[in-house]
Amino acid sequence: MALQIDAKGGLIVRAPYQVKERAILEFIERNQDWIDKAKKVSKDRARERKEYQPVIGGRFLFLGKEYIISETNERKIQCLEDRIRIPQNSEADKELSQWLKKQARSFLKARVKDHAARMGFGPEEIRITQARSRWGSCSGRNVISFSYRLMMCPEEVIDYVIIHELCHIPEKNHKNSFWQLVEAFDPDYKKHREWLHSHGFLMEVI
């Protein structure tokens, strides 16, 4: 049996068909502490998602720095010291999505090239995707893909994701040898991985 809290804070229980209702209720009762904590986390993340909605006056993260979304008379997005200004009368989510994709294509590809040179192995191809469920991936053919939403993360976290995926070129699984290789190139990878876990809601805001 397994428990899950959905995005709205509802409890989902998965159990084999033959398990009796009484056993399910006892399972829920035994795990009530976990349920309460998980619901609190879900509630906190729902609040955070709302705070980072791409609307005028809302907050927005770019390379880990927080900006306020405002408007400009210019035709293109302006990234200033503490504000990201989008063209007037435009749809904020579409403007920011397109802008992030453009930033990702140049920033991530250059960063991968630098890390690959340092690590001694690189991908066959780099793709920028619209993935909402994972920040990056590496195929069996060594094609590395990154969600453009990765551009909302701090640079050191972006570097961790790049290193993680590059390490899948020689190590196709997550065995100890894989994590040892990751740690060799990013000694603080656990801290960076935790940041991604805590800020996964960002993949859902734009």
Residues 47 and 120 in one domain: no
Q: Which residue has the tokens 């991968």?
A: 112
Mean pLDDT of 186-194: 97
In a domain, 162, yes or no: yes
Q: Quote the pTM value.
A: 0.81
The CATH number that applies at residue 135 is 3.30.2010.10
Rounded to 5 degrees, φ, ψ at 18 are -80, -5
Q: What token pair was written down for 188?
A: 């603080």
Q: Which residue has the tokens 């805590």?
A: 198
Residues 109 and 27 in one domain: no
Instruction: Flag whether pLDDT at 28 surpasses 90.
Output: yes
Tens digits of residue pLDDT in 101-121 = 999 999 999 999 999 999 999
Residues 113 and 37 in one domain: no
Tens digits of residue pLDDT in 122-167 = 999 999 999 988 999 999 999 999 999 999 999 999 999 999 999 9
Structural domain tally of the chain?
Answer: 2
